[in-house]
Structure 1
Amino acid sequence: MTTRQARVGALLLAAATSLSLAACGSETLNTGGGGATATGGSSATPTVKAVTADPALAALVPAKIKSAGVIKVGSDASYAPNEFTDTDGKTIVGMDVDLFSAVAKKLGVKAQFQNADFGSIILKVSGGQFDAGVSSFTINAERKKQVNMVQYFNAGTLWAVPKGNPKKIDPEQACGLKVGVQQGTVQVDDLTARSKKCTDAGKPAISQVVEVAQSKVTADLVSGKVDAMAADSPITNYAVAQTNDALEVVGKIYDSAPYGIVTAKADTQLAEAVSKAFASLKADGTYDEILAKWSNKDGGVTEFPVNP
């Protein structure tokens, strides 16, 4: 990932700078459960070709959603470039937003995004507050026990450090380091397991600095609060590209796994409709076009199964 629109990059850099100066101050990007909403499409990037409804797919949409005309979507808009707030501070944009907005159009409805803390989204989908969760959820066995997950992308874990790697950090030799990570992500489990290996070997534990928002994790690394950060590969690459050459990638991508769109466990009808809509977008080229727009084509998949 080498380029992004300058004004989006400036926003992320400004957020990181203000956070680093304020240390424990409030976050520039709103990640609360409040009213930040969008109906899709980033104003900061080229327009993806128009998507039209497919009557056969629209017929698969659950009656409640079809009647409302919208799919209510929970998303933690702090995870650029997958989902983040635009320069107005409230419109949710990003790769995932474009993808799922295209899915909704195929299904003859609109996607209505609402900002929410990452750790709350699955609970709110299960409780009916959201129809779907679209927030870079890695598919794993524990999550599939709680909800349905529709595969749509593939990513792995990738680390970043300050430019030049002054502490000569190696993710495989991380004992004793302070590592930033977003709350509720698979990287928390990864670091916990790595830390246990350290302590079992009589070495210092890895100290996790856990933040609610990924934007704050990135800011912690820019400010020097942590030695390194671990996040999904598209997010790490984007952070490096957008922090004015302050960071660099270290090590290689590992533990690659698919992302999944989340629906309630009982709502298999919506999950199947989303799966078929993705397959249609793949067939007509829209899916690959959106990934290319966000420089993430290498994470594309060819199948979109429910609960793979």
Structure 2
Amino acid sequence: MRGLTRYDLLGVTNVARATQIKALALLPAFALAGLTMACGAGGNGSGGTQPSSGAPASSAIPAEAKDAKLAALVPADIAGDGKIVVGQDQTYPPNEFVDSNGKVVGFDVDLGNAIGQKLGLTMEYQNADFSGILAGLAASKYEMAMSSFTVNSEREQTVDMVTYYSAGTSLGVLKGNPENLSPDNLCGKNLAVQKGTVQVDDATARSQDCTKAGKPAINIQQFQAQTDVNLQLTTKRSDAMLADSPVVDYAVTQTNGAVEVVGQPYDTAPYGIALKKGSGQFAQAIQGAVQALIDDGTYAKIIAKWNLSTAGAVQKSEINPAVS
């Protein structure tokens, strides 16, 4: 459920930003050293251990063969240089993040690479602030945006969206839920969220309900990077965090259970690959590639690699589905 309901300022992509994200991803291991948690050195920004590659061990995804019919649908101005430039906010494990070796990895990255292989093209991932990616796509800075974007009707008015997974919002708390929290009793609590996501809107609405009921407002702590949100919780500077369900699930596994999920995900909606409107048959090419990966089993392997819930797996990829 990651996403804005309107475009924000164009995100900036540069080496310094990538370096900063890598440094943030390494922080939790040191910050947790003094806590009584079963955690060790990590590089994924979730506050726990992981293989040095940032991905589960023995999880290589076989290369896909080019599909000439799908490749022919890609507009010449995109295919001409042999690559697709992808806008992405790489602070969102397990979907897209920089691992301890400085490599961009994640569910979206593996799926994106497989899509590229189907089309006979290489994916070039460019890091940006999440709130500026779609504006960058509109300005032709990127040829595709793949960064856990929630599909909604407002977005579909300005970009084409190709669905590939379904996720909801989850509440993450420390092990044992010491504050006995739920999404409905966060009044007066410190709640960490990533800027520009639907979780900000969710938290704001909940805080307004608190004050209307004569209770303290939620202290909504917004951070540019999801890695900062994770760190905020694991170092006990926040009582809870709201994020997409795959992100909170991943934080649980990467902290060896130091973080836990409260209840079930809610407000479930599809993720979509965003493409600039007026791009010929590009959307059909991307949708066809995603569907081919679903049909040949590669999609399921990628989901399993990143321990994503199979409940979010889609059987049919769609272009601009009817959504609210």
> Which blocks of at least 5 consecutive residues in structure 2 are unaligned?
1-22, 34-42, 46-53
Q: Assess if the C-alpha contact under 8 Å between 1:12 and 1:242 holds in 2.
A: no
1:118 aligns with 2:137: no
Which has the larger helix fraction? 1
SS for the counterpart of 2:315 is: coil
After TM superposition, the structure 1 stretch with the greater mean CA deviation from structure 2, 151-160 or 165-174, is 165-174
Post-superposition Cα deviations, 1:197-228, rounded to whole Å, max 9, x if no partner, equal: 11222222112101011000000001111110
Q: Percent identity?
A: 47
- Listed as ranges, the matches of 1:85-234 within 5 Å are 85-89=98-102, 91-234=103-246
Question: What residue is the counterpart of 1:56 in the other structure?
Answer: 69
Matching residue of 1:33:
none
AA aligned to 1:227 is D
Asked whether 1:258 is paired with 2:258, we answer no
Q: What is the CA RMSD across the aligned residues, in angstroms?
A: 2.2
C-alpha change, 1:125 and 1:18, in structure 2 (3 Å) is farther
Matched, 1:241 2:253: yes
Gaps of 5+ in 1: 1-10, 22-27, 31-40
Q: CA deviation at 1:179?
A: 0.6
Q: How much has 1:18 moved relative to structure 2?
A: 4.3
Contact 1:222-1:246 at 8 Å conserved across structures: yes
Q: Please give the secondary structure, in 2, of the residue aligned with 1:306.
A: coil
Q: TM-score when scaled to structure 1?
A: 0.85
Give deviations 1:1-21, integer Å, cap 9, x for gaps: xxxxxxxxxx99842244679
What is aligned with 1:76?
A: 89
For this pair of structures, how many residues does the alignment match? 281
- Cα distance in 1, alignment partners of residues 121 and 319 from structure 2: 21
Residue 61 of structure 1 aligns to a residue whose secondary structure is coil
In structure 2, do the counterparts of structure 1 residues 293 and 272 end up closer, same or farther at CA, with 3 Å as the change threshold? same
Separation in 2, partners of 1:76, 1:147: 18
Q: Is the 8 A contact 1:155 1:258 kept in 2?
A: yes
Give SS of 1:128's match. Answer: coil
Query: How far apart in 1 are the matches of 2:246 and 2:119?
Result: 27
Q: Structure 1 CA distance, aligned partners of 2:25 and 2:317?
A: 34
CA distance in 2, matches of 1:44, 1:59: 35
CA contact (8 A) 1:43 1:86 kept: no
Q: Is the 8 A contact 1:149 1:261 kept in 2?
A: yes
Q: Deviation at 1:259?
A: 0.3
Match of 1:37 in 2: none
SS of structure 2 residue aligned to 1:230: strand
Contact 2:25 2:99 in 1 (8 A): no
Q: 1:85·1:93 contact (CA, 8 Å) conserved in 2?
A: yes
- Is this contact kept in 2: 1:131–1:264, CA < 8 A? yes
Contact kept? 2:151, 2:272, Cα under 8 Å: yes
Greater alpha carbon shift after TM alignment, 130-139 vs 80-89: 80-89
Helix, strand or coil at the partner of 1:173: coil
Q: Distance in 1 between matches of 2:253 and 2:123?
A: 29
Aligned counterparts of 1:131 and 1:150: Cα–Cα separation in 2:
14
Q: What do the CA deviations read for 1:269-289 (whole angstroms, capped 9, x no partner)?
A: 222210111111111111112
Separation (CA, whole Å) in 1 of partners of 2:127 and 2:172: 26
What is the match of residue 46 of structure 1? Answer: 59
Identify the residue that residue 314 of structure 2 maps to in structure 1. 301
Q: 1:130 to 1:286 in 2, by over 3 A?
A: same
Which whole-Å CA distance do the structure 2 matches of 1:168 and 1:189 have between them? Answer: 23
Tell me, yes or no, if the aligned pair for 2:191 and 2:239 is still in contact at 8 Å: yes
